[in-house]
Amino acid sequence: MISDYLCLIRGGGDLGTGVALQLKRKGMPVVVFDLENPLAVRRKVSLSSAILDKKIEIEEIIGERVDDLSNVDDFTFTNVVPVLISDTLPTFPISVIVDARMMKNPMDTKIDDAELVVALGPGFFAGKDCHAVIETMRGPNLGKVIWDGYAHKDTGIPGEVGGLTSERLLRSPSNGEIHWMKDIGDLVKKGEVIGSVGDSCIVAGTSGLIRGMINEGMLLEAGMKIGDIDPRGANVDVSKVSDKALAVGNGVTEAVTKWLEKNESNL
């Protein structure tokens, strides 16, 4: 049974949350590890928000911060996903590990960290660094399971939304502490000042609805991704997990299902 296997997702941002949502829908117990100060931008749909907010409800699942996993079995058949502060692997056995940190460079994840190790996006070689890689680039292969080789390289250009790419992203204009004048869900106009980092202003590159903003008060480096604006405007629901995150989650679910089928056939 899929519920007999525990999955650890390293990184509770929007893509990791899409993975958690799809796995929970299949009945798989899931836990999420993230940093003490999470870097997620789409905080309304990121389980890592539970680290600072204690609890977050995202569609039909609830992220709840816990300090340890001694009672992890209590969450198995509920809609709650335990969220912990950790950047290392636990000492107890984990059946499946999903690296959803999206650092786009080789990380500390190794193929022998669990029975099944899945990584999202570029930076990992399936068959060497992990068992499977999930394609995260928008397009016809989004969510594809790769069992041998790499995902598409990071181009540095975000996927097109509402006809725009780089214009919709917000990046830190300098080093320093971030302060926002707006909030997720607010409508803004192109050229409007929506916050600051140190003495530098953050200016909207397009008109639209703010879909993501990094946490207030974070210490940033120039060029870091800190938010995004959806040019489609008021019709966007910031509380809904994105189609991209769901597609990536479907890819992970496919990889887990094939792995389970292989395990059962070997019994």
pLDDT digits (tens, 9 = 90+) for 26-79: 999 999 999 999 999 999 999 999 999 999 999 999 999 998 877 777 777 789
What average pLDDT does the chain have?
Answer: 92
Please compute the mean of the pLDDT values over residues 98-116 and round it to a whole number: 90
**CA dist 171 to 11, 102, 139, 168, Å?**
20, 17, 24, 10
The yes-or-no verdict on residue 154 having pLDDT over 90 is no
- Look at residue 128 and tell me if it is in a domain: yes
Statement to judge: residues 134 and 207 lie in one domain: no
Domain range for residue 138?
Answer: 2-154+243-265
Asked if 131 contacts 145 with a C-beta cutoff of 8 angstroms, the reply is no
The CATH number covering residue 183 comes to 2.40.50.100
Res 245: pLDDT = 97
- Look at residue 65 and tell me if it is in a domain: yes
Please compute the mean of the pLDDT values over residues 160-180 and round it to a whole number: 87
State how far the Cα of 166 lies from the Cα of 82, in Å rounded to an integer: 34
The CATH number covering residue 129 comes to 3.40.50
Res 3: pLDDT = 65
Statement to judge: residues 184 and 67 lie in one domain: no
Res 4: pLDDT = 77
Q: What is the pLDDT of residues 92-103, one digit of tens each?
A: 778 999 999 998
Q: What is the pLDDT of residues 244-258, one digit of tens each?
A: 999 999 999 999 999
Please compute the mean of the pLDDT values over residues 160-188 and round it to a whole number: 90
Res 2: pLDDT = 66
- Look at residue 238 and tell me if it is in a domain: no
- Look at residue 237 and tell me if it is in a domain: no
State how far the Cα of 78 lies from the Cα of 29, in Å rounded to an integer: 9
- Look at residue 160 and tell me if it is in a domain: no
Statement to judge: residues 226 and 174 lie in one domain: yes
Q: What is the pTM of this model?
A: 0.93
Statement to judge: residues 123 and 147 lie in one domain: yes
Statement to judge: residues 68 and 113 lie in one domain: yes
**CA dist 93 to 29, 203, 242, 267, Å?**
13, 46, 31, 20
- Look at residue 217 and tell me if it is in a domain: yes
- Look at residue 103 and tell me if it is in a domain: yes
Q: What is the pLDDT of residues 188-238, one digit of tens each?
A: 999 999 999 999 999 999 999 999 999 999 999 999 999 999 999 998 999
Asked if 45 contacts 241 with a C-beta cutoff of 8 angstroms, the reply is yes
CA-based nearest residue to 32, from 254, 42, 15, 216: 15
Statement to judge: residues 183 and 148 lie in one domain: no
Statement to judge: residues 8 and 82 lie in one domain: yes
Please compute the mean of the pLDDT values over residues 159-188 and round it to a whole number: 89
The yes-or-no verdict on residue 267 having pLDDT over 70 is no
State how far the Cα of 60 lies from the Cα of 66, in Å rounded to an integer: 19
Statement to judge: residues 201 and 247 lie in one domain: no
| Number of structural domains the chain divides into | 2
Of all residues in the chain, what percent carry a pLDDT higher than 90?
Answer: 78
